[in-house]
Amino acid sequence: MPNPWSRFEALVPLAPTLVGTVSAHNADGTSAVTLPGGGQITAEGQTVAVGLQAYIKEGRVVGEAPSLPIELIEV
């Protein structure tokens, strides 16, 4: 019988998917992204237009996110 903890870990992704607003496209092919808490990151890729929401995974822009209200909960 497999270890229950190993089975649980297989369900949880290693890298979180972030959502943020693209604030600028940089000359080196990266995008400046503002996160809901106010933090800023730089992510590879420019596939999402400035001003739109983007999904960020492992430091890369992976696609456009819907513009939905965001509820920020700190734990």
Residue 74: which pLDDT band, with cuts at 50, 70 and 90? Answer: confident
Q: Which CATH number fits domain 14-64: 3.40.630, 2.60.40, 2.40.50, 3.30.420?
A: 2.40.50
Q: Residue 7: its pLDDT value, please?
A: 87
Q: Which residues contact 55 (CB under 8 A, 6 or more apart)?
A: 17, 18, 19, 61, 62, 63, 64, 65
Residue 6 near residue 12 (C-beta atoms within 8 A): no
Query: Which tokens sit at 34?
Result: 């503002």
Residue 53 near residue 23 (C-beta atoms within 8 A): no
Residue 31 near residue 42 (C-beta atoms within 8 A): yes
pTM of the model: 0.76
CA-to-CA distance for 19 and 5, rounded, in angstroms? Answer: 28
